A and B are shown apart, each in its own frame.
Chain A
Amino acid sequence: MTETASADVPYAIELMGISKAFGPVQANKDISLQVSKGTIHGIVGENGAGKSTLMSILYGFYKADAGDIYINGQLTHIPDSQAAIRAGIGMVHQHFKLVENFTVVENVILGAEDGAMLKPSVAKARKLLKQLAEEYQLHVDPDSVIEELSVGHAQRVEILKQLYREADILILDEPTGVLTPSEANHFFRILDGLKAEGKTIVLITHKLREIMRVTDTVSVMRRGEMTDTVPTASTSPEELAEMMVGRKVLLRVDKQPAKSGKVVVDVRNLTVRDDQKVERLKDVSLSVRAGEILGIAGVAGNGQSELLKVLGGMIPATSGTIEMNGAAIDLTGKRSDGQSRRARGISHVPEDRQREGLIMPFMAWENMAFGYHNDPAYQLNRLLMDNNALKRITADKMQSYDVRPPDPMLAAKNFSGGNQQKLVVAREIERNPDLLLVGQPTRGVDIGAIEFIHKQIIALRDQGKAILLVSVELDEIFGLSDRIAVMFDGRIMGERLPDETDERELGLLMAGVSEEKGAA
């Protein structure tokens, strides 16, 4: 940390005693934070620790119940995001807020047009964009349409948008979630460049490696409180994790070598076209054996979701075959739905637990039957479900999977991300499947729950079940998989053993650089 705390150079951001409650939940408790000008400050914390709330207060989405905000030493009142922009604060959200069918330059001026006519603003923006691109290595074609850009480029547009609004303070919320390792590296170089130009950056992330790589100082939040702020150079990922959770955490997954058996699922030449006739899966072949975990690595949107959905019976396949325990399963028609898949011993922890895996307004016990609601054990008679039995079963499962609070009558939306995921994992693993499909098992899940969920998956493997894991987190892929397949643009780019490869090699495969080209 640079010693700019002296009286003459004010902090870029100074928060004093910020508190915010949502009903009975105290999201932020008396938080004070100082960020020096021209530094990158990281904020880490488990889900629901209050990071996003704090940044939303700074950006004017929420009004704090108590506390003051000083920007560059000035007491600043930020009732809405317009005021935040005037104060020189810009925010890049985890999910981009760009108009997909507008061009880059149109997106940049959106909301900051100078007058009723677009032409002068566009001309001005074009000139400024060129200048900014050179200054910060933020090269994007101003006339390309957003939906044609890669995620990495779309993110640059978001940053350009903030710079166009003359933001001196940039808040970045989980910015690397959708980037390949190399895109992320480029992104960090951009951040270094911005810092060198005197911009102040607040980086919210749960990836401790990124914190170590790029930040100057880091704050840890836990249960709405800011527990500690330390110079990054004087800490370690292990220490940060411990501060986040409040106890020692195993960052590495502890597992024995796999004892793999016969092939459980065998996918041959699988091709999937979506409604727009775009090929999402191209001639994919893979197999998973009993007692092993096959990890699928790749940047989001390269066909992994479709692979899981075909196997889970959510979308039909166009061509190819899938054999489950030696017998083919239907890929189109009535017998290709989720119910039929479950009947064949396939359980599915879907990628998006909030939209797919759970019905958020349903209570925990209702969700425990989700997908298995035709199970005879859950029926009272031919017409009615046995809701009382379900509540009892749910209470037991919540106990053994440590879901907190263990209340079957609570709606799914009222659980934290980690506990929601435990509900899904409990439901799917307890069916004792032959094949478990797992998509992004720890996305938006706190570190404590990650440890627990990983243990459950390993335990299922050790019972001799086949597991297909899809994750965009390379650490997770490395930690859990017995074999790794990399997907790019709907194809399997290659298969590796975790001990015989490294992040660099996988990163290249994820970016679509095949072996031959990579060697050249």
Chain B
Amino acid sequence: MSEAARNRLTKGLTDLAFLILAAAIVYFALRWMTAGVEAMIDPVTPGRGESWPLWAQIAQLVYLVLASVLTIGVLSVLVFFRVPNMRDAILVPATSIALAIIVTALVIMAIGESPLQATQVMVRGAVGSGYGWGYTLFYATNFIFTGLAVAVAFHAKMFNIGGEGQAAIGGLGVAIVCLSVPWPHWSLALLAATLGAAAFGAAWAAIPAYLQAKRGSHIVITTIMFNFIASALLVYLLVNVFRVPGSMAPETARFAEPTHLPSAYDIAPWLGFRRSTPLNVSFLVAIAACVGVWLLIWKSRLGYEIRAFGHSQTGAVYAGIHPVRIIMLAMLISGGLSGMMALNAVMGEAERLVLDPVQGAGFVGIAVALMGRSHPVGVFLAALLFGMLYQGGAELEFEMPAISREMLLVIQALVILFTGALDNMVREPIERLFLRLRKGA
């Protein structure tokens, strides 16, 4: 091991130790604060039909703000003194999320509910039990695939917002593979279905990619149009071709028993997953896909060409990189990854192809890729966050009836807004602040 490598390792380990220390500080401080505010508001918690006194709501808001400031503050100190290159990767998204939580709290206050309780229900619902984790990771699996898909296209400066359609058509591929061959074992079926899903998703992305590469039709317009075409195509096929004769439901027959993927309960019941958990082995495929995309983008020649093309098209031409080839390959890989999302949703969970198997995951993938800065590790973490948001949201809807389905959409939209669209609003002030601090130091 060289001197430099040893130094890097030592630095990495110290940084990790500091990170754990910081996490511990934040964790215990938050617990202490939470206990305090709970004790304060407990006597005034209203029963059915009553409402919160204003001071209690404001106390909760203040608590959330203080908790955010504390977390961000500890993170800032850590980033400033130990890991300055993590500023964009850790501090900026954390600040965005904190802002989203505070604005969400205001919204929840406005409908007369307790932001603190809502937050607690969401967190507990998402990560408080094996049951919650089962769903959180199931959603995260979907978002990893669609997030990676958007990220790969981003590297080639292509904005693929057709994840929704590509994943739906990927589901078609999965259904055809699963229904047409009597598979002896799920592992073989999974392998074939992966290829089928990727091939179908890629094929669906190929047409907009070709139109962009050869005719200059803007990929944003064509991919979004192809979402509608995919949806209509799926309706037609499910009603007219794949429907089980005599059935009223527009869906395929249930896949045969041997194609059913082992669920988290089958694999690791000791982790507390329930029998009904939708989390299945395709989560492992998603992690493998993260590693694969990392190797592709940063280690392979094709990834080198994709990134070069994404940064400078004229530069790519100078280097002898063919724009048409890169656009096609990047979009095929992107479409393939989107399609693979169907492994989880169609093969893993529903075990048949239904109408709208994607459920918006294609669009969430855009936010995931933005927040994850198109890096597989970032995509994984962002997907996890959105998985929590989805599962926590479902719990919230169940436990606090005042918070409706639409309300949940608002909350999710706020997170997407702050982490994705308003990225620069947070990033630039933080950059300026750091510059000023550095100068002062």
Contacts from A to B (Cβ < 8 Å): 21, 23-24, 312-314, 337-342, 348, 350, 352, 355-362, 366, 369-371, 373-374, 379, 383-385, 387
- Interfacial chain A residues near B435, Cβ < 8 Å: 23
Contact B311 A337 (CB under 8 A): no
Contact B307 A356 (CB under 8 A): no
Pick the contact of B308: A21, A341, A359, A385 (CB < 8 A). Answer: A359
Whether, in the assembled complex, B320 has its beta carbon less than 8 Å from a beta carbon of chain A, the answer is: yes
Contact A355 B314 (CB under 8 A): yes
Give CA–CA (A23, B84) in the complex, Å.
14
Contact A356 B308 (CB under 8 A): no
- Given A373-B301, A379-B301, residue A337 in contact with residue B322 (CB < 8 A): yes
Whether, in the assembled complex, B128 has its beta carbon less than 8 Å from a beta carbon of chain A, the answer is: no
Contact B317 A357 (CB under 8 A): no
CB distance from A317 to the nearest CB of B (A): 15
- Interfacial chain B residues near A371, Cβ < 8 Å: 318-320
Pick the contact of B320: A339, A369, A384, A385 (CB < 8 A). Answer: A339
- Interfacial chain B residues near A379, Cβ < 8 Å: 301
- Given A358-B315, A371-B319, residue A23 in contact with residue B301 (CB < 8 A): no
- Interfacial chain A residues near B304, Cβ < 8 Å: 366, 369, 373, 385
Closest A residue by C-beta to B313: A355
CB distance from B437 to the nearest CB of A (A): 12
Within 8 A of A (CB), among B282-324: 295, 299-301, 304-305, 307-308, 311-312, 314-315, 317-322
User: Can you pick out 18 interface pairs between chain A and chain B where the beta carbons lie within 8 Å of each other?
Assistant: A337-B322, A342-B320, A352-B314, A356-B314, A356-B317, A356-B318, A357-B318, A359-B311, A361-B311, A362-B307, A366-B304, A369-B304, A373-B301, A373-B319, A379-B301, A383-B300, A385-B301, A387-B299
Closest 9 CB pairs between A and B?
A338-B320, A339-B320, A371-B319, A356-B318, A337-B320, A384-B299, A359-B311, A355-B314, A359-B308
Total A-B pairs, Cβ < 8 A = 72
CB distance from B301 to the nearest CB of A (A): 6
How many residues on B have C-beta within 8 angstroms of the other chain's C-beta atoms? 21
- Interfacial chain A residues near B319, Cβ < 8 Å: 338-339, 370-371, 373
Contact B438 A362 (CB under 8 A): no
- Interfacial chain B residues near A337, Cβ < 8 Å: 320, 322
Closest B residue by C-beta to A379: B301
Closest B residue by C-beta to A336: B320
Closest A residue by C-beta to B318: A356
Closest B residue by C-beta to A384: B299
Whether, in the assembled complex, B439 has its beta carbon less than 8 Å from a beta carbon of chain A, the answer is: yes
Contact A385 B300 (CB under 8 A): yes
Known: A24-B438, A352-B314, A360-B312. 7 other contacts (CB 8 A): A23-B435, A338-B321, A356-B315, A359-B312, A366-B304, A371-B319, A385-B301
Contact B312 A356 (CB under 8 A): yes
- Interfacial chain A residues near B318, Cβ < 8 Å: 312, 314, 338, 348, 350, 356-357, 371
Give CA–CA (A30, B321) in the complex, Å.
47
Give CA–CA (A409, B80) in the complex, Å.
21
